[in-house]
Amino acid sequence: MKFTILGCSGGIGSGRHTTCFLVDDDILVDAGSGITTLSLEQLQTIDHVFLTHSHLDHVLGLPLLLDAVGEQRRTPVVVHALPAVLDILATDLFNGRLWPDFREIPSAAAPWLRFEPLSLGESCTLGPRSFIPLPVQHVVPACAFEIRTPAGSLVFSGDTTRSEAFVAALNTIPELRHLIVETSFENALADIARDSQHHWPDSLAADLARLGPRPQVWITHLKPGNEAAIMAELRRAAPDWTLSALQQGQVIRLN
């Protein structure tokens, strides 16, 4: 499996793009502004999108993807997410006011978009890759995703703060090779992080201390301009871990 980082910033500016990952050539995990780095030909190959939650920095590319390539496709793009996330998309995004409802365009019988609800712990298998939603804690309904392959697993936290349920789920994955986990704020902004339910360095360090597996840990969703300061605080807070900032354009392979 090839996992390509199209966008991994907590914001935009100076070449930064928000969360969007490409799995092989046909699947997206989240659909932030990183989707704009794909060519039209690459966009046409996207068959499935797995969404961690409904916040705009993780979904803004989805309606634009459908608008760009829907007419060229023979089958709908399938969006997989928690039922509550799909309800938000239906009510607040694909509602005919903010954006057309592509579940009924060009017709309900042959749409460009299809929703597929996933429950926590339920596996969706596409070829050799299985996508499993894991529990996290955020201000809106949200999940992490384990991507399980014969060569091991990669987990992406999505947006979360401290979560006993998430750590417990990670501790059941013996072949956890890569953990992509967010840290959005510096310790000085811990109050904002708590209110918005994101990680700060001390909170992530506390969760890592309870983790049994020892995966490679990649840090994502760093707020623009604060990346170096957050990473420095993380390394001081969790000195026993090798922590690396995820980079746009990076490729992680499981083989």
Three-state DSSP string of 68-80: HHHHHCCCCEEEE
**Is the whole model's pTM more than 0.85, yes or no?**
yes
Sheet holding 176-182, edge to edge: 124-126, 129-135, 143-149, 152-156, 176-182, 216-220, 243-245
Q: For residue 255, what pLDDT is reported?
A: 87
Q: For residue 3, what pLDDT is reported?
A: 98
Q: For residue 86, what pLDDT is reported?
A: 98
Q: For residue 48, what pLDDT is reported?
A: 98
Q: For residue 170, what pLDDT is reported?
A: 98
pLDDT averaged per 10 residues, the chain (length 255): 98 97 98 98 98 98 97 96 98 97 96 98 97 98 98 98 98 97 98 98 98 98 97 98 98 95
